[in-house]
Amino acid sequence: MLFFEQLISGRDVMFKCLIRGVFLFVLTTQTVLGASTEAVYGDKAMISSRSTLASAAGIEIMAQGGNAVDGAVATAFALAVTYPSAGNIGGGGFAVIHFPDGRVLTQDHREKAPGTAHRDMYLDADGNEVKGLSRDTHLAAGVPGSVDGLLDLLERHGTKSRQEVLLPAIRLAKEGFVLDRYMARHINTVGKRLQDTPAAKKVFSMGDRLVEAGDVWQQPDLAVTLQRIHDKGRAGFYEGKTADLIVAEMKRGNGIITHEDLKNYRSVWREPVMTTYRGYDVWTMGPPSSAVLVLQILNMLEPYDVASMGYGAAELIHLMIEAERRSYADRAEHLGDPDFWDVPLEGLVSKEYALKRFADVDLEKASDSDDILAGYPAGKESMETTHFSVMDSNGMAVAFTTTLNSSYGSKLVVDGAGFLLNNEMDDFSVKPNTMNQFDLIGREANAIKPNKRMLSSMSPTIVSKDGKPVLVTGSPGGSTIITTTLQVILNVIDHGMPLHDAVSMPRFHHQWTPNRIIYERYAFSPDTQRILEALGHVGLMEWPYGRGIGDANSVMMKDGVLQGVKDPRAEGVAVGF
Ligand code: DON
């Protein structure tokens, strides 16, 4: 217990009590992997996130009477401190919000290309991509959107003050928290390059040595930056001292983000995209997210009796892969920032288009990705992101996905400001048909232009029934975000799984090109693999990285009770009351 109290030597009694509660919960439910595997139940509030301390920060605010938006904003700011490989103030993300009256709104605080960015900025004189330029350098950073997005979200739809929701994050940065084994190793291995620049090394080491499990890790520069946001709002980040530090960091590394880019950054409220699926309404983020693919795939599968086929059946896997193949082909051609590109959104989500697009599928034979071109709907992206889900008992729910793109983004810290810069520019199509770090390709729709937002796969999603939210889900995982989100939805709606199983069951993924099926261990039985190969599916490949595909931290309302499930593939916790 003493150990955990050191974790955050918070002064606030309420917070300490909550943290004690979380600690006891974690003690009683953690597996040897260090992650909870049970569903957590609550009557009033629920948060499932990748970081135990961030979930606790959000729940602290909700326990003080805050709504789901207040909880989400506090969790997101805390993630920037306790989960710096993806939680951020130097990156961007999306939020889908369901209101008690049934309305759904989405907020886009995705990064933007700087004002002097241009289409060929990552190509050499011969027109070839310069490897690493869009990922590992100051040029990789888009103009950060998180701070504007979070503050705007809070002002419009929260009930708590900016000062209240920022307090847990500031306390965690200033007073520090104990690094667990996983995080110390992660910083030193996945974040190895953090030791390459003095600014990042200052943050991600203990002075003259690497961090170790058990260190009380403090981030004083970040605490001061967060304090400026606390005191001055968006001006505390996009103007003044923080902006000066960002621009000075750009100058050190030939980066191009200017004071003007920062000052002009604004998050955008966009209409959600929606489809119906077996009596449910499925709401997700529209472009510049490509989450519409989740809806397209659901539409293609709806005519089939998925439930009777059963989870893991080869015929169902075949249908899912063929739907994924077609929708990812559409992504490469049609999807980009809607402020710059005419995305045929209505056509893409229509049931008629799904029927037409799926008409050439042979139930007995896999198609070849080389034969699958983009369709013509009417009208014409080591990696880390993080998703968390929040719901309160009044019918307000928030699905929130945020990222720096790669793990620890560009691995570059803004000197003196203590936060990492994203490398989101790699999500643009740097050259037509050239793969990004997620092997995704794109074309004109996602070409680089000044002030344009890069296409994303982040798919924060809310499923509702009769105007009430029933499931809040989403995931990290680059291109696999879409198929992870899809599988959680199918597991709940079609396979009738309890939320814990829906989130935990093994997953697989296909993205049209490259033509391969990646799958988690145990996802396909040997005979299922044989059937898929006999149908002509090629490139079956066990997922080679980490613990699995995605990290779908989800929340559900069932029979009047809130349930939270932390994806057992990674650390973190669901907390509720
Ligand atoms: O927006 C996107 O699609 C990517 N930048 C997401 C990156 C990601 O999910 C890395 N995670 N594991």
Q: What is the pLDDT of residues 243-268, one digit of tens each?
A: 999 999 999 999 999 999 999 999 99
Please tell me if the CB atom of residue 329 comes closer than 6 angstroms to any atom of ligand 1.
no
**What is the rounded distance in angstroms from the CA atom of residue 555 to the CA atom of residue 500?**
10
CA of 549 to the centre of ligand 1 (A): 12
What is the rounded average pLDDT of the residues 32-36? 35
Q: Which of 135, 385, 408 to mutate to test the pocket of ligand 1 (most atoms within 8 A of CB)?
A: 385
Q: What is the pLDDT of residues 433-482, one digit of tens each?
A: 889 989 999 999 999 999 999 999 999 999 999 999 999 999 999 999 99
Per DSSP, helices labelled H in 233-385 are 235-238, 240-252, 259-264, 292-301, 306-309, 314-334, 345-349, 351-358
The single residue of 75, 385, 386, 513 carrying the catalytic annotation is 385
Q: What is the pLDDT of residue 37?
A: 54
Q: What is the pLDDT of residue 16?
A: 52
Of 553, 505, 257, the residue nearest 385 (C-alpha)? 553
Please tell me if the CB atom of residue 426 comes closer than 6 angstroms to any atom of ligand 1.
no
Nearest CA to ligand 1 atom 5: 405
Please tell me if the CB atom of residue 403 comes closer than 6 angstroms to any atom of ligand 1.
yes
Q: Which of 285, 384, 438, 440 to mutate to test the pocket of ligand 1 (most atoms within 8 A of CB)?
A: 438
Q: What is the pLDDT of residue 377?
A: 85
CA of 479 to the centre of ligand 1 (A): 7
- Provide the mean pLDDT of the chain: 93
**What is the rounded distance in angstroms from the CA atom of residue 301 to the CA atom of residue 297?**
6
Q: What is the pLDDT of residue 20?
A: 45
Give buried/exposed letters for 49-60 (b at 16+ CB in 10 A, else e): bbbbbbbbbbbb
Please tell me if the CB atom of residue 383 comes closer than 6 angstroms to any atom of ligand 1.
yes
480 is catalytic: no
Q: What is the pLDDT of residue 379?
A: 66
CA of 548 to the centre of ligand 1 (A): 15
Q: Is residue 18 pLDDT above 90, yes or no? A: no
Q: What is the pLDDT of residues 374-412, one digit of tens each?
A: 887 886 547 689 999 999 999 999 999 999 999 999 999
pLDDT band at 485 (very low <50, low <70, confident <90, very high): very high
Q: Is residue 28 pLDDT above 90, yes or no? A: no
Q: What is the pLDDT of residues 543-559, one digit of tens each?
A: 887 789 999 999 999 99
Q: What are phi and psi of 177, to 5 degrees?
A: -150, 160
CA of 122 to the centre of ligand 1 (A): 20
Q: CB of 8 within 8 A of CB of 19?
A: yes
